Structure 1
Amino acid sequence: MAFQESSPVCSNAKPGRAAVFLDRDGTINEQMGYINHISRFHLLPGVGRAIRALNECGLPVVVVTNQSGLARGYFPASLLDEVHREMHRLLALEGARVDGIYICPHHPEAKEERYRQHCNCRKPKTGLIEQAATELGLDPASSYIVGDRWSDLRCGAAVGAATVLVLTGYGQGDAAYIGPKQAVQPDYVASDLEEAARWIIARTAAVQE
């Protein structure tokens, strides 16, 4: 079962509507390997503006993130909570918010037995998306998934969502060395989350016309 942290869905959200699912590390914050101390958590430039624009468009924004560092014993659950409180705080300073955070803490080689499993929530599996869709009343097939790894894109494709690869984090390397061999290709490639948000907002407006 995935961990979940959430705040109320925005007032404009309706059951079964589109949402934007965001990877965390390398998409929202700097890719630093494992965030094993709060001092290593830094929002990427433009992220607050990007998420605020999605909020203003009425699109729920949900973070879906693999956190195997928890499973491997590199940091405790309390640090993960601290990091996400800091993320909420920094986004709020820019008038932005996320409507939910869904975490996979599992890994087959986990140090702690409770996390040592082949789960259905570790991306590219779709459990995090399905859980968020059920709990928040969202429609994955009309949604968007944004991330810097091909695992994010495969997860999105599996639920019928539109996929966006950002070239922050591992994005440039994945685009150069992983992507050409993949059957799944992104619907859009963006330099960062701000460009991704502009594309999503424009595409959403076009679909609604």
Structure 2
Amino acid sequence: MKLVILDRDGTINSLADEEAFISSVEEWVPVPGALQAIASLNHAGWRVVLATNQSGLGRGLFDVTTLNAIHALMHKQLAALGGRLDAIFYCPHTAADACNCRKPAPGLMEQICERYRVDPRTVPVIGSCAAHLQAGAAIGAQLHLVDSGQGAAIDPALSLPAGTHRHADLAAAVAYLLASAAALPAGAG
């Protein structure tokens, strides 16, 4: 099975410069090309799963109904392009909760790999923030930073785990994955 784990904020949806997350349906604006990239993965036989910190829940900034409405809009827009997310895993905790599911802790990604019975070393993890990449590094995943969201501000010399691939956005990361998979000998992927 081919599985990829994506971050949401800054990877799939756009953020204003001062924002780290969105808290309403009205703020949901896809990064140009992101939804098409997910659909391309689906059409190539990949399962796409979201792993996202949603501390706004724990801080009372929005509720689960609002989070579900944001995700419903995302699903609707993806479906219009022939794409889908296979699952959404989210952590509702704040940093003060010291849970194992809030990235950079690896809990969400471990849960995903366990549910889909995949070797984490075969899983590309794509995100726009250091915490997402750190969680991926903790499980031994293949790391891909996108420069949308907070990614552009990350200094590779100081903040990126070894072996991280860097891309302009999700569309570029997906193009890289699809080209890499096409280059593998039959049966190797």
Amino acid at match of 2:142: A
Name the counterpart of 2:34.
Answer: 47
| Equivalent of residue 124 in structure 2, options 141, 144, 167 | 144
1:28 aligns with 2:15: no
| Equivalent of residue 206 in structure 1, options 171, 183, 186 | 183
| Equivalent of residue 173 in structure 2, options 196, 201, 206 | 196
Q: Secondary structure at the match of 1:180?
A: helix
1:57 aligns with 2:44: yes
| Equivalent of residue 102 in structure 2, options 119, 122, 125 | 122
Deviation at 1:205, TM superposition (A): 2.8
**CA distance 1:21–1:139, shift in 2 (3 Å):** same
Q: Distance in 2 between matches of 1:20 and 1:146?
A: 8
Q: Distance in 2 between matches of 1:156 and 1:208?
A: 26
Identity of aligned residues (%): 38
Deviation at 1:185, TM superposition (A): 3.6
Can you give the 5+ residue segments of structure 2 that lack an aligned partner in the other structure? none
Q: Is the 2:144–2:167 contact (alpha carbons within 8 Å) kept by the matching residues of 1?
A: yes
Deviation at 1:80, TM superposition (A): 0.4
Deviation at 1:79, TM superposition (A): 0.4
Deviation at 1:107, TM superposition (A): 1.2
Tell me the TM-score normalized by structure 2.
0.90
Deviation at 1:141, TM superposition (A): 1.2
Q: Secondary structure at the match of 1:19?
A: strand
Q: Is the 1:153–1:185 contact (alpha carbons within 8 Å) kept by the matching residues of 2?
A: no
1:158 aligns with 2:142: no
**CA distance 1:37–1:51, shift in 2 (3 Å):** same
**CA distance 1:126–1:207, shift in 2 (3 Å):** farther
Deviation at 1:183, TM superposition (A): 6.1
Q: Distance in 2 between matches of 1:134 and 1:49?
A: 27
Q: Is the 2:126–2:143 contact (alpha carbons within 8 Å) kept by the matching residues of 1?
A: yes
Q: Is the 1:18–1:140 contact (alpha carbons within 8 Å) kept by the matching residues of 2?
A: no
List per-residue Cα deviations over 1:100-131 (Å, max 9, x = no partner): 1000111144xxxxxxx211111111111111
Deviation at 1:19, TM superposition (A): 1.0
Tell me the TM-score normalized by structure 1.
0.82
Q: Secondary structure at the match of 1:20?
A: strand
Q: Is the 1:48–1:95 contact (alpha carbons within 8 Å) kept by the matching residues of 2?
A: no
Deviation at 1:52, TM superposition (A): 1.1
Write the mapping of 1:161-172 to structure 2, written as runs, cut at 5 A.
161-172=141-152
Q: Distance in 1 between matches of 2:160 and 2:40?
A: 31
Q: Distance in 1 between matches of 2:6 and 2:93?
A: 19
Can you give the 5+ residue segments of structure 1 that lack an aligned partner in the other structure? 1-16, 110-116
Q: Secondary structure at the match of 1:135?
A: helix
Amino acid at match of 2:4: V
Deviation at 1:134, TM superposition (A): 1.8
Amino acid at match of 1:199: Y
Q: Distance in 1 between matches of 2:42 and 2:92?
A: 27
Amino acid at match of 1:128: L
Q: Distance in 1 between matches of 2:35 and 2:160?
A: 32
